[in-house]
Structure 1
Amino acid sequence: MHRSIPILICTSALLLAACNGAPDPATPPAASTPAATPAPATSAPATPDAAADARVALSADGPHWFGYGQLRWGMTPEEMQAAFQPGTLSRPAGVGTDDTCHYLVPGNSAGDVRLMVEEGRFVRAEFLTPATTAPGGGQVGWSAARVRATYGAALAETPHKYEEGALYLRIKAPEGDGVLLFETDASGTVTRWRMGVAPQVDYVEGCA
């Protein structure tokens, strides 16, 4: 009878330990998982202005709605020469030599390009061969039908002043003051074209 007391005491102690949730010494403690380190914040790249980018791209060389290469409508001859470096601009003899209105020719244009200056300001550029392409793709040698299809509703056409059946095909710039004007012969083929600002872009005889 007295021998059963220690056994009951030990059994009660084990049950009490189990109820208190004592850890099993044979089981290693669970490893703690470190908190995830947040990725450093990165600022989104600045979004360039699409119109500005397009304008810069167009200004590298050749004609565009705002002028020719680095040259802009309204520049003085001195500003034109400075902007055209390292090239040169010269005044050809016998072509618009009057100081009120005259032409400058880029040294690398092989006679294809003439730049009109009137009253001391750059107002017009003329293109005489297929070597140069207009904004939108037009050039010497295109048909009037192709010009119409390319420029669509922006185009207005009028009869040529001197040649029956020939046309002037005029396109206003989508922005700014520029105007693009194709000149055709009687068969409807573009023989030359020009860009500039009004009224000079519409002069029929150049400086005359």
Structure 2
Amino acid sequence: MRKLNSSTKFVTLLISTLVIFAVSVTSVNAQAQLTERSQLAINGIRPIRVGMTVDEASKSAGIKLITSGSGGVDEYQCSYVHPQGEPKEIAFMVVKGRIARVDINNKRMTTLRGAKIGNTQEQIIKLYPGQIKETPHPYVGGPPQNGKYLTFVPKDAADKNYRIIFETSKNRVTRFRSGKLPEVEYIEGCS
């Protein structure tokens, strides 16, 4: 067998290192993508976190976030952005240039604990035992709708300024959102 010279060894090592690096970067980028499998947390949806700018969130998620409705993102007011393309039925409230909350209307998306649109009020209460505050829905109250807001209130002091709110009608979750106080509690979004 012939011995490899030092330059051949170096080239082999360099190529191996580049291949490993490329695989690692591809793996990290694949994990960073915002998809329908991304799960909502109290402070955002991986890879987008409350407090990020729209540019930071777009880069982190590997997608372009575009404004909803007319106009652009007003860094001093409230507006919404959503992914250009997939996933559908998800929006990010932007206040003073930063993500403040995440609104989910997508029936396939879940929270970290598996809560989703279509769950019953009882299922939500079981997923978050002892941490759900029930209040009447301001627009869907009383029979036959019996709408409620089921608000997850965290016990961890580090999360005291965050909530997840499940809106229900006829005992079923119709939409949900997470984010920081007070924005997560705004009934009509930016209106």
> Quick one: which of 162, 165, 171 aligns to 1:181?
165
Q: Is residue 2:92 matched to residue 1:115? A: yes
> Quick one: which of 112, 117, 125 aligns to 1:148?
125
Q: Is the 1:112–1:131 Cα contact (8 Å) retained in structure 2? A: no
Q: Which amino acid aligns with 1:65?
A: I
> Quick one: which of 103, 111, 118 aligns to 2:80?
103
Query: SS where residue 156 of structure 1 aligns?
Result: strand
Name segments (4+ residues, structure 1) moved above 3 Å.
58-61
State the 1:97 CA deviation. 5.9
Indicate the residue corresponding to 2:149 in structure 1. Answer: 168
1:1-208 aligned at under 5 Å gives the runs: 61=34, 62=38, 63-85=40-62, 87-94=63-70, 99=74, 100-164=77-141, 165-175=146-156, 176=159, 177-185=161-169, 187-208=170-191
Q: Which runs of 5+ in 1 are unaligned?
A: 1-57
Q: CA RMSD in A?
A: 2.2
> Identical aligned pairs, as a percentage?
28
State the 1:179 CA deviation. 1.3
Q: Which amino acid aligns with 2:49?
A: R
Question: For 1:180 and 1:107, how far apart are their aligned partners in 2?
Answer: 24
Q: Is the 1:71–1:84 Cα contact (8 Å) retained in structure 2? A: yes
Q: Which amino acid aligns with 1:202?
A: E
State the 1:98 CA deviation. 6.7
Query: SS where residue 161 of structure 1 aligns?
Result: coil
Question: For 2:183 and 2:101, how far apart are their aligned partners in 1?
Answer: 7
Q: Which runs of 5+ in 2 are unaligned?
A: 1-30
Larger relative contact order (C-alpha < 8 A, sep ≥ 6)?
2
TM-score (norm 2): 0.70
Q: Is the 1:125–1:194 Cα contact (8 Å) retained in structure 2? A: yes
State the 1:60 CA deviation. 6.8
How many residues are aligned here? 148
Q: Is the 2:67–2:73 Cα contact (8 Å) retained in structure 1? A: no
Indicate the residue corresponding to 1:41 in structure 2. Answer: none
Question: For 1:108 and 1:174, how far apart are their aligned partners in 2?
Answer: 36
Question: For 1:179 and 1:60, how far apart are their aligned partners in 2?
Answer: 24
Q: Is the 1:59–1:68 Cα contact (8 Å) retained in structure 2? A: no
State the 1:190 CA deviation. 0.6
